[in-house]
Structures are given as C-alpha cells and as structure tokens.
Structure 1
Amino acid sequence: MSADAQTPAEPRQKAEAVVLVGGRGVRLRPLTLSAPKPMLPTAGVPFLSHLLSRIRAIGIEHVVLGTSYKAEVFEDHFGDGADLGLHIEYVVESEPLDTAGAIRNVSDRLTADDVLVFNGDILSGVDLAELLGTHRDTEADVTLHLVKVDDPRRFGCVPTDADGRVTDFLEKTENPPVDQINAGCYVFRREVIESIPEGRPVSVERETFPGLLSSGARMQGYIDSSYWLDMGTPAAFVRGSSDLVLGNAPSGALPGPTGRSLVAAGAEVAGDAVVDGGSAVGADCAIGSHAHVSASVLFDGAEVEAGAVVERSVLGAGARVGAGAVLRDVVIGDGATVGAECELLDGVRVWPGVELPPNGVRFSAD
C-alpha cells in the first residue's frame, strides 16, 4: 500500500505526532558513527523522511522529534518542516529517559487531545488514519499497533480480548500465548502522557503500560498484517531500503519511481553493469563495467570497480570496492577500501578509513 492509498480522511479533530529518534544505533555501527540511524540514506533519502511523509498524508501537521544522539543533524536537514508541509519542533533529551520518559519529555510542546507516537526506526505499512480512528471510536486511553509475527519470543507479547482490548503486556518469553507483538507505534490521550513521571527514565513496556492496565485504563489493540520491519540491524536496514525501492513498503518520499533500482542523479553506472534487487545508489557513485550490485545501499560517492559483486550490503560514503571483489551481507564504513579480488561475507563490518589488502584475501564474521 502506498502512502497515498491510506484512508484519505482528515482527522475529525487535530492530532499531533511524536517521533522518538534519540537512539545511538549501536547495532548499525559503523554506519551510525557519522549520522543517527533515522538519518541514514534509505532508498534515496533519510529514513525519517519516509515516516514523515506518511504522517503528513493523513493530515497531521505538527510533529515533535525527541532527539539526543547527534541531535543537530535532524534540524540541519529538516529545519522547521515547511518544505514537507509540516511544523517540526525538536526537543533534546540530555540523558537517557527510556521510551515513556522520552515521550513525557516532549509533552510541553503538545496541545492536541490525541498524539501518535512512533519509534523512529520502524518501517511500517499500517494505515495511520484507521489506527487513529480506532483509538477515537473505542475512546481508548492508549491504542497500540500490534502485528503478528512468526516468532514472537523475541518481542513483547500483547494479548487482547474479543473486542481488541489489551489484557496483558508480557516481556520476552519462551512460550508466548499469542503471536501478536508491540509494533512500536501508539496513540496516546495527551492526559496519559502528562501522567508519566517526569525527569527520570520510564519504560512503556515495564512501567507505563502495566500501570495503565492495573488502573483499569482502556488500552486498545489495533491488529493488522501490513508490512512491518524493525530497521535496527544492517540486514534489516538493507532489506527495508530495498523494499522501499521495490514498492513493497509504503512511502510518499521516494525521489523516483519504484523498480529494480533507484540511482541518484550524478551517479555513473557502466552500460553493462547490473544494478537490481531494489538497490539504492547515491549521488556521485560509480559502478564499473560488468559489476553487479544487488539489494544493496550505496551512500554518496561510493565506488564499485569493474567485475565486483555487491549483494545485500551497505557501502558508506566514499567507500571503494576493488575490481573483482565479492561482498555479500557486509557493511563497509565511510571512506574504507576493499582491495581487488577480496571476498567479504556473512556480517563482516569494515570500519571507516580501513584499507583491506587485495589479492584474494577472504574475510567472514565467523
């Protein structure tokens, strides 16, 4: 479903959005050494752009970003949000406050009755207008977007009754009673946000939600089977970017049509090179003769020399892959060099500026 295919109804009353983007993105290092995770180039634009486009598509105009790590990068790029038809404000978290604490930290910027809250590293196809409508129709205090997954043991498990009302909120368990999990997107009544303790770390999973349940508050589940992906690991990041390019995940922010690849203006791709699988190629990149780039992300200025193979991998800004090299499921930091005929496999991460020697050297994460 594209962003334009969401329910095209203006909310009955104004709602606002909060996006939590303060994490350090440790699982994505070395990519996040130079930029926060939500600002990494994803299908041609910063990842956060895709979410903001979907927020604007349902008529929400006021967005508050809860920032921390490299906070200035967000405002430098998005400014006041006017170019996106938004009014964006920024609140910096000076010390870690956990999810609920971070939500409470921005509460003085909120005026609407209903507030959509997003984890800033989730790529989702949920119909945001329907989610908001469910929250209002059920007169819920908090509504949680829930998705069904094949293996819920890795996530918080959220049982609901026949009316969709949340009955429990369980941490990771080896024997989850249901397959539906917290998807990292919520609608809060503003009064609930203001009741969260201020000035200290507060977890929504361990404190806020269990406390609301025990007090008899109405917590509603909105359950669907739309696209959903936590973009926190390199493999997930590559998959999410590829799915956006291929049109499998929704966005109104793609800088070009969906298809086999998305190649930025200024990139040079040899006529006999193959770029497919939803690859995103940044500005000023170069891909040489007979090279094959598949389901990968190339940041601005990356170079893939003749005959090299790059699959399901990320090349940081200015990274270079030598002729005949083979890269599968790896991350190459900004400015790093992979020598000719080198082979990197299965989760290898090359730090910025590192130069790997040529001539058939094989590296794997194992």
Structure 2
Amino acid sequence: MDAVVLVGGKGTRLRPLTLSAPKPMLPTAGVPFLTHLFSRIRAVGITHVVLGTSYKAEVFSEHFGDGSSLGLELEYVVEEEPLDTGGGIRNVADRLREDDVMVFNGDILSGVDLAGVVGTHRDNAADVTLHLVKVADPRAFGCVPTDAEGRVEAFLEKTENPPTDQINAGCYVFRREALLSIPTGRRVSVERETFPGLLAEGKRLQGHVDTSYWLDLGTPGAFVQGSADLVRGIAPSAALPGPAGEAIVLDGAQVHPEAVVTGGSTIGAGCVVEAGARVDGSVLFDGATVAAGAVVERSLLGARSTVGAQAVLRDVVVGDEATVGARCELLSGARVWPGITLPECGVRFSTDA
C-alpha cells in the first residue's frame, strides 16, 4: 500500500509562525509534526509515501530528503495552484504503485489504529474507507452518518442538531479506480464533490468508526494542546526525542534549577529559561529565552524570541526573533509578529501586537 500526505496549506491560522515554515514542519514535541505521522505510517508497514506540497514546498525535501533516515521512500509533488483535498489527491496519482492508497491530511494528530482502518477497507471490499471519529460536540463539524453495516450514507454540513456524532477525521483508504475518478487540473473537495459523487454512483464508502485520540492542529490553541499531549504520552508517537513526561528539554537548552517547566512543555535546543520562570503547557522553538520570573502558559514562542523578566503570557503566539519586554502582560489571542519588540511597559495586550 502507498501513502499520500497532503501538506499544501499555508497555515494562516497559525501565523506568524507559518511565515517561515509550513504548518506540518513546525516543531511539535521536539520534532517537525510530520515526523510523528511518518513514524505511524512506517509502523503499519507502509514505506512509499508521496507528499502533496505547495506552500514552501522546498522545506519538506530539504529536511526529510529521500526519507531513508526514517525507513521510508519519500516523493514530492508540488501543486502549482491550490487544488483542495480531492484535487491534491488526484494530482499525485501518477506516483502511486499499488491498488490501494492511504491518504492523510498533514495537520491531523490522531491515535487511530491504522492497521484497523486498512482491515475495514479490505474486509468490506470498499471503494473508499473513511476514518470517522466520534466527538462530544459535532456541531462544529460536518457529520457522516453510517448504516448498521458501517456504510456511509451521506455527508452533512454543520448544523445545530447533528443526526450523528461521527465526523470525517481526515484519513482515507482509496482503491485506485475511485481515486482516478477525481477530475484533474482543478480544485476538488472530497466532502462536497468526490464522496457524494461516488455515493450517487453506488460505490461502497465504508466508515471505520472509533473514539480514538483526534485533534486538528490548525489553531494556536490546538497546536499547543497537541504538542503537550504528545509530550505527556496522551497522543501516540514513536518519534519523541525523549521519554514522555511533564516536559521535553532538547540538547543545548538551559533550564535553571529554580525554574518550573510543566504541562507537557517543549524547550527547544539552545533555549534559556531563567530562575523563577514558569513555563506550562507551552512550546519554545529553538533559541527562545524566558527571563527571570516570567510566566508562559499555553503559548508558542518562535525561534530566538525573548520574553522579558516578570512578563506574563497566556494563550499567546510570539513570532521568530520578537521580544516581549519586561513586565508586559499578553493574554488570549495576542500575537507578536517576527522581529517586533514590545518595550518594558507593564501594559496588558489581548489582541495582535
């Protein structure tokens, strides 16, 4: 079986961090997020992986190369213009070798049993199998009802009264014939066009339904949560650069004995966390500094950024090489763009800075 990973998005909801790198390449529990997904793909026995890229496509190939260091064979296909999920899948078809292909959205953190998804596909001789995850509140998602045999019945838009708690989890298995039915050279949505069209043709779309760990990492809050869940071992990965626990501190980082680092935080290489500082459930990219007495909670600090003494950051994104001055207080949703310096001021910010 081949695998396709779709990584063409610009990650606009994670700006300014994605100004310098695509979302799947952002450090997540100490390594680029895609490394965690690759480890799960390799564990299920798939070795040939095709990446559908677009935004900053060269970053992927420069980091992973041919994939041999991960026990994989990687190929890269660049979209000249955005093609959406269906168009992105069809765009890589000429690189596929097998009759079945497993497709992943490159920004989903999931604990689904991938071998189980493949088994469901083959046991039911399905044209397409979809991983469907049950969520506590499906109102924010499109819903996918299935019948008693697990066959997909429809694809429904968001509604205040969803008829099911099953949502599309962004992982599929396609038979080659179904994949080749997707039109070429234009944007195609799998949920609005491909899957409804296959249903109308009488094709078998099978649901693999479970309640496994699942998180879309598209927003800063979700990204921080996903990284922390990986660090603490709540979300599965064989790619952690250290044992699961309250924190991962990468080589070359300096954490003062009187600093407190908890909540599944990641402290990147070359970072400095000074005495009396507290870092909780946060991600510090390489070279970031948290000065004495500062508090950083549920936040993302870009590479070589600085948080001044006694500053307080909660639910904040700080761009690469930005500086938050001493005693500043940044709260929910504040974003400091790369290279910006907020002077020592004792002022509270809660919007983009």
Say which of 192, 210, 213 aligns to 1:227: 213
1:23, 1:103 → 2: CA distance? Answer: 14
> What's 1:38 paired with?
24
1:268, 1:130 → 2: CA distance? Answer: 42
Shift of 1:111: 1.3
The answer to whether structure 1 residue 271 and structure 2 residue 271 are counterparts is: no
Say which of 64, 75, 82 aligns to 2:68: 82
Residue identity matched to 2:331? L
Structure 2-normalised TM-score?
Answer: 0.99
- RMSD of the TM alignment (CA)? 0.8
Residue identity matched to 1:22? G
1:194, 1:285 → 2: CA distance? Answer: 48
The answer to whether structure 1 residue 307 and structure 2 residue 282 are counterparts is: no
Say which of 70, 77, 94 aligns to 2:80: 94
* Contact 1:246-1:261 within 8 A present in 2 as well: yes
Shift of 1:149: 1.1
Shift of 1:259: 0.4
2:346, 2:84 → 1: CA distance? Answer: 46
State the SS of the aligned residue for 1:211: helix
2:219, 2:208 → 1: CA distance? Answer: 26
Structure 1-normalised TM-score?
Answer: 0.95
> What's 1:211 paired with?
197
Residue identity matched to 2:159? T
> What's 2:171 paired with?
185
* Contact 1:171-1:205 within 8 A present in 2 as well: no
Residue identity matched to 2:25? M
State the SS of the aligned residue for 2:41: helix
Say which of 234, 243, 247 aligns to 1:248: 234
1:318, 1:126 → 2: CA distance? Answer: 35
> What's 2:42 paired with?
56
1:134, 1:149 → 2: CA distance? Answer: 20
1:196, 1:111 → 2: CA distance? Answer: 17
Residue identity matched to 2:249? V
- Structure 2's unaligned 5+ residue stretches are none
> What's 2:121 paired with?
135
Q: How many pairs are equivalent?
A: 352
Higher alpha-carbon deviation: 82-91 or 350-359: 350-359
Shift of 1:279: 0.1
2:200, 2:163 → 1: CA distance? Answer: 20
Shift of 1:359: 3.1
Say which of 150, 154, 174 aligns to 2:136: 150
> What's 1:69 paired with?
55
Aligned structure 1 segments of 4 or more residues deviating by more than 2 angstroms: none
Residue identity matched to 1:96? P
Shift of 1:365: 2.7
Residue identity matched to 1:235? G
1:315, 1:201 → 2: CA distance? Answer: 34
> What's 1:327 paired with?
313
